[in-house]
Amino acid sequence: MPEQAAAAGHRPAPVHTHPDDVPVLTALSALADPVRMDLIRTLADHSDWTLSCSNFDVSVGRAAKSHHFSVLRDAGLVEQRDQGTKRLNRLRREEFDARFPGLLDLVLRAD
């Protein structure tokens, strides 16, 4: 059994799910949370790749925040890219809109 230690090097790139592969139930569940709705709205108010995770000012700790971003990735809502020690974010607006027309607008529309 070839025991090779971690072929060290990079930090594991974030795993993404394309909106086309996301069931409706998953999308709705991801959006049906106050913290995640907050993240999505903040994300929509800034340009792509301008916000790292730590820039989001939500009322939970780092661990919970990381979990929420994972849920958003799995729902095809957010794309992430590593840059230095930071992880930059982008709202997958067009792709998600194509899969679930109107859903994102509904969440972003202030009411």
19: left (phi over 0), alpha (psi -120 to 50) or beta: alpha
Closer residue to DNA (CB): 57 or 111: 57
Q: Given candidates 21, 32, 60, 98, which one binds its own copies under the rule CB under 8 A?
A: 32
52 in contact with its own copies (CB under 8 A): no
**Packing angle between helix 62-74 and helix 24-31, nearest 10 degrees?**
150
**Residue 63 φ/ψ, nearest 5 degrees:** -60, -50
Q: Given candidates 18, 21, 24, 86, which one binds its own copies under the rule CB under 8 A?
A: 24
Alpha helices, H only, the chain: 24-31, 34-44, 62-74, 93-99, 103-108
Closer residue to its own copies (CB): 39 or 80: 39
Closer residue to its own copies (CB): 18 or 81: 18
CB of 17 to DNA, least distance (A): 14
CB of 25 to its own copies, least distance (A): 6
